[in-house]
């Protein structure tokens, strides 16, 4: 089956379908009282599935595609890939219908996925002694956050579960900082070289190290001293570091190339979201109250959409030029982030309408992604090569 010929295929498709289906389900539950099959508090179900359903699927697709490129090993395909994808899907079904199953069954099925993913990608990384092997610590940290979420859930401590989700999001943002900090300037330089003259970008000494170090500090502050002034100050410093890093990358030169400018938009939400977090923690400003969605919809989801659309083109043998429909999807997702973050305090939209409007924009973006990319992911490469 073409779907099982490379790691990005089932997981990018799964991420798109989850994003397309679960957000409208959540919005309808919130606005119209349509029941969820899960027995969890609706907000925790929503946060968990966006992180450990949608985002983790995209991370899996990325790693299963990147590791063979990093190590020269064969791509992951066939039965191991089918079993891993099936395990991810079982976790989603178990969580969505959790009221039907004993809690240990749901927990075991969901927590099994990340160790299985790590077990699949570790051997080629270890054999090659690849410099990206420490990224497996991200999988371990995400698994620990998921385990902490279940601990809070089963002790009826919603605050502990929410704290675990925030830490999981921090870990994802650290991954965006590391990987995004590689691919955004690399792809930008390549595009500028082809279309806008010299492709060299400025490289300020220590900018990358400072950005990564500041995000590690954000993770530690949210772990040890969450929701206080120290966390606010660290978020402000991290926002400044991320903004300085982004300033090196000549964003305005990319505006004619959607496949490139979307990467810049995604990364720009990092300093924006961190600055809003700092404002919320230090001043209590109403305009900054939804900083978490700036970091999730804005930074994480937009970077995921950018990477999935680009990687799927390259690994199915197509030119790196997105369909105009996908350019519209990028704009719809950006609009969803803007409405969700600023709709209530800045635009004056009533909160239920904020939820419904942002959900509509998000869903439209991923409907367009699925419409354009599902046929690619389900078909052989157009150049006849394996993968």
- E strands, the chain, are none
Q: What tokens does 174 get?
A: 């650290």
Output the CA angle 33-34-35, nearest 5 degrees.
Answer: 105
Assess if residue 220 is contained within a domain: yes
Assess if residue 386 is contained within a domain: no
Assess if residue 317 is contained within a domain: yes
Structure confidence at residue 313 (pLDDT): 95
Q: What is the pLDDT of residues 332-363, one digit of tens each?
A: 999 999 999 999 988 888 999 999 999 999 99
d(CA 244, CA 231): 20
141 backbone dihedrals φ, ψ, rounded to 5°: -65, -40
Residue 260 contacts by C-beta under 8 Å, 6 or more apart in sequence?
Answer: 187, 188, 191, 254
Assess if residue 384 is contained within a domain: no
d(CA 277, CA 242): 14
Structure confidence at residue 200 (pLDDT): 63
Q: Which domain holds residue 109?
A: 2-377
d(CA 178, CA 18): 25
Q: What is the pLDDT of residues 254-312, one digit of tens each?
A: 888 999 999 999 999 999 999 999 999 999 999 999 999 999 999 999 999 999 999 99
pLDDT level of residue 103 (50, 70, 90 thresholds): very high
d(CA 311, CA 72): 17
Query: How many C-beta atoms lie closer than 10 Å to residue 136's C-beta?
Result: 17
Count the domains in the chain: 1
Assess if residue 20 is contained within a domain: yes
Residue 41 contacts by C-beta under 8 Å, 6 or more apart in sequence?
Answer: 158
d(CA 104, CA 133): 31
Q: What is the pLDDT of residues 17-49, one digit of tens each?
A: 999 999 999 999 888 888 887 888 899 999 999
Structure confidence at residue 198 (pLDDT): 56
Assess if residue 385 is contained within a domain: no
3-state SS assignment for residue 218: helix
Q: What is the pLDDT of residues 189-225, one digit of tens each?
A: 888 887 655 556 777 788 899 999 999 999 999 999 9
Structure confidence at residue 306 (pLDDT): 97
In order of 261, 265, 308, the CA distances from 316 in angstroms are 22, 25, 12
Assess if residue 318 is contained within a domain: yes
Q: What tokens does 93 get?
A: 């079904």
> In the chain, what is the straight-line distance between the N-terminal and C-terminal CA atoms, in Å?
11
Q: What tokens does 182 get?
A: 């590689």
What's the Rg (C-alpha) of the chain?
Answer: 20
In order of 30, 109, 288, 341, 344, the CA distances from 347 in angstroms are 21, 42, 13, 10, 6
d(CA 112, CA 341): 33
CATH code assigned at 371: 1.20.210.10
Structure confidence at residue 295 (pLDDT): 97
In the block, residue with structure tokens 């509509």: 360
3-state SS assignment for residue 146: helix
3-state SS assignment for residue 129: coil
Structure confidence at residue 195 (pLDDT): 65
Assess if residue 39 is contained within a domain: yes
Structure confidence at residue 197 (pLDDT): 57
Q: What is the pLDDT of residues 132-180, one digit of tens each?
A: 888 899 999 999 999 999 999 999 999 999 999 999 999 999 999 999 9
In the block, residue with structure tokens 């939804």: 290
């Amino acid at each position: 089956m073409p779907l099982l010929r490379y790691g990005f295929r089932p997981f990018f498709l799964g991420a798109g379908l989850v994003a397309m289906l679960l957000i409208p389900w959540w919005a309808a539950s919130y606005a119209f009282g349509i029941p969820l099959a899960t027995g969890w508090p609706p907000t925790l179900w929503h946060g968990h599935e966006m992180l450990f359903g949608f985002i983790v699927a995209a991370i899996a697709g990325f790693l299963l595609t990147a590791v063979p490129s990093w190590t020269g090993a064969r791509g992951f395909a066939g039965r191991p890939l089918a079993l891993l994808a099936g395990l991810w899907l079982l976790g989603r079904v178990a969580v969505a219908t959790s009221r039907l199953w004993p809690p240990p069954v749901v927990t075991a099925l969901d927590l099994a996925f990340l160790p299985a993913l790590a077990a699949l990608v570790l051997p080629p990384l270890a054999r090659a002694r690849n410099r990206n092997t420490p990224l497996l610590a991200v999988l371990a940290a995400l698994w620990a956050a998921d385990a902490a979420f279940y601990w809070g859930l089963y002790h009826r401590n919603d605050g502990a579960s929410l704290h675990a989700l925030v830490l999981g999001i921090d870990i994802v943002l650290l991954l965006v900082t590391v990987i995004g900090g590689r691919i955004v300037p690399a792809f930008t330089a390549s595009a500028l070289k082809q279309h806008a003259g010299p492709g060299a970008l400025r490289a300020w000494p220590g900018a990358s190290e400072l950005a990564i170090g500041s995000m590690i500090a954000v993770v530690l502050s949210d772990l040890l001293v969450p929701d206080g002034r120290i966390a606010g100050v660290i978020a402000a410093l991290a926002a400044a570091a991320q903004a300085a890093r982004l300033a090196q990358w000549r964003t305005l030169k990319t505006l004619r190339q959607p496949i490139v400018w979307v990467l810049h938009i995604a990364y720009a939400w990092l300093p924006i979201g961190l600055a809003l977090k700092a404002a919320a923690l230090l001043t209590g400003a109403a305009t900054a109250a939804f900083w978490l969605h700036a970091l999730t919809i804005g930074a994480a989801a937009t970077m995921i959409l950018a990477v999935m659309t680009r990687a799927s083109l390259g690994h199915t043998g197509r030119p790196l030029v997105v369909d105009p429909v996908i350019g519209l999807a990028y704009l719809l997702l950006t609009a969803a982030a803007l409405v969700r973050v600023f709709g209530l305090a800045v635009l004056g939209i009533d909160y239920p309408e904020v939820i419904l409007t942002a959900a509509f924009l998000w869903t439209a973006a991923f409907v367009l992604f699925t419409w354009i990319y599902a046929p690619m992911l389900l078909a052989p490469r157009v150049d006849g090569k394996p993968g």
